[in-house]
Structures are given as C-alpha cells and as structure tokens.
Amino acid sequence: MTGFASAARPTALGQLTLELRSVNSRFLDVSLKMPDDLRSAEGAVREAVAAQLSRGKVECRVFIARGVGENEPRLNAEALARLAHLARQVEQTMPSAAPISASDVLTWPGVVETPGAEPDVLRSQIVATLTEALNALAQSRRREGAALSAVLLAHCDQVEQIATQLAGRAPDLIAAVERKLNERLEQALGPTLSGASTLTRDDVSERIRQEVTLYALKMDVDEEIKRLVTHVTEVRRVLANGGAVGRRLDFLMQELNREANTVGSKAAAIEMTNASVELKILIEQMREQIQNLE
C-alpha cells in the first residue's frame, strides 16, 4: 500500500528528520538511507518497521541538519597521542615503512569524535522519531485502505448482481438449448425410423432424452453461481474484519476467477458467455486493487 510520512525532533547532533515512503509489493522490503554516524541504529530501525508492516517496499531516509558551528567534529587528543606513539614504534621497527597520512589519522577509530553523539541516546531518539512516522504512515494507509475497500465492495455487488441474473436466466437458457437440441436430434434420427430399422419410436425418443439430459447437466452452472456468491460473501467478511488482508484476498480472487472460467467453458448461449467475460473483467479489476492492500 502506498503512503508517505515524516517526523522530526532535535538531537545532540542537530535536527533529526526521518521520512518513510511506501509503495506496493507482495513482500516487505525495507531500504535505509542514513548518515554513517547513525548506522548503529540500523538494526533497531528495521525491527521497528517489520513490527508494524508486513507488506510493501518501504524506503526510510534519515537526515541530520547541523547548525553552523554546532556540534562540529573534533580531534580526540588522547586517541591522537596513542596513534602517534604507535606510529613512532612502527618507524623504529620498520624504518622503510611509509609514514601515515592525514587521511589515515582522520579515519582511525576514535580520533575524530562528535560531541553529544552517544550511540544509545541517538538510537532511542531515532526509534522514537521512527515510531511517530510509522503511526502517521499507518493512518495514511488506513485512509487509502478504506477507499480501496469501498471500491472492492462495489465490485462485489456487481459480481453478485451478474451471478443472480445468470441464476435467474439459466433455466430458460438451458430449456431453449434443449429444445433446439431435441429438434436437431429428431431431424437426424428421422430417416432411421422411416427406413428398415429395428429401432422403435420409443427407442429413439429415449436416446434423445438421454442425450438432452446429459448435455443439460454439462451446461448447468448452478454450482458455480453458488460458489461465486459464497466467495463474494467471504471477500466482504475479510474486508470487514480488517488487518492484513492482501494474501487472503489474493486467494479468493483466484477462486472467483476459477468459477468465472468454468461458467465460460460451460456456456451454451451468448448470454452465459457475456456473463463470464464481465465476471472475469470485474475480478481482474479487483485483483489489481488488492495488490495495493497489505
């Protein structure tokens, strides 16, 4: 489900701003973009996001806006002295070794420090800011979810309407097909009765009745219509219960599509074919919308 949220708070390093962007995805995929001096909080951020979200591609951006002259990095005199002592020892032991450069000194652990940048304090501040942003994101996603739920419920009404109309028309359609089939079989078997044949009129009538009955059973869609209505009822129930409904609705769309395909395969009249096509279009529209749900 798509969404955007942000939150900010002051820290010892400066103004902390955290942004969350969420787009559709079948699984949870979290990407983080944050300064290197905040990387100690990466694990806590991922855990907090996973605790609230189960689907979606989520991008989390963390910024620190430092004021001019505020919390400027500085050299740690003790660490610098230790490094210089080590460098002299190396020079005495290995005179041919290249001396360390300024960049080597600045990248040495502990030589450069930022005042007030205690990792535990920063981590708790980042998690608190993330929690605020996640709550705002959840509200945004709930609003979008409510709108999508209304769209899906309207489609459910259309599917049920088509199924109901088809259920009412099916007996007449089957009866019409049976009459045509009966007429054609009578015409096809008529010469048999007029010629030298051991078959009687009753034998032919019984065979016609069997063929017509078998064909009527093959084109009967009463069970498929009942299952369509049952699946639509389940979709409504899942939407009413709320929560993470995406995977459950994905499965129900597969079942709805299966019944619509069966109706199409049994179609013996243009009305049944049209009903099957309309059903599949509606189900596909629902399936696309469900990809936006968690």
Q: Do both 107 and 38 map to the same domain? A: no
Q: Do both 257 and 155 map to the same domain? A: yes
SS3 289: helix
Distance CA 116, CA 113 (A): 9
Structural domain count of the chain: 3
**What pLDDT was estimated at residue 200?**
63
- Give yes or no for a contact between 110 and 76, defined as CB atoms under 8 angstroms apart: yes
Tens digit of pLDDT at every position of the chain (294 positions): 678 899 999 887 788 999 999 887 778 889 999 887 788 889 999 999 998 888 788 999 998 887 655 556 778 888 888 888 888 888 888 888 888 888 888 888 878 766 555 778 888 899 999 999 999 998 888 888 888 899 999 999 999 999 888 887 767 766 666 677 667 666 766 665 555 456 566 666 666 666 666 665 566 777 888 899 999 999 999 999 887 788 889 999 999 999 999 888 877 678 788 888 999 999 999 998 887 777
Structure tokens at 25: 């995805």
Count other Cβ atoms within 10 Å, centred on residue 202: 8
> What does pTM read for this prediction?
0.60
Question: Residue 16: which CATH number?
Answer: 3.30.230.10
- Give yes or no for a contact between 13 and 71, defined as CB atoms under 8 angstroms apart: yes
Q: Do both 216 and 277 map to the same domain? A: yes
> How many angstroms separate the Cα of 32 from the Cα of each of 9, 55, 132, 275?
19, 16, 17, 48
Q: Do both 82 and 65 map to the same domain? A: no
Question: Residue 224: which CATH number?
Answer: 1.20.140
Q: Do both 100 and 25 map to the same domain? A: no
Distance CA 278, CA 292 (A): 22
Q: Do both 149 and 136 map to the same domain? A: no
Q: Do both 96 and 27 map to the same domain? A: no
Residue-wise pLDDT for 74-109, tens only, equals 788 888 888 888 888 888 888 888 888 888 888 888
Range of the domain at 233: 144-290
**What pLDDT was estimated at residue 83?**
87
> How many angstroms separate the Cα of 43 from the Cα of each of 57, 151, 279?
17, 38, 46
SS3 4: strand
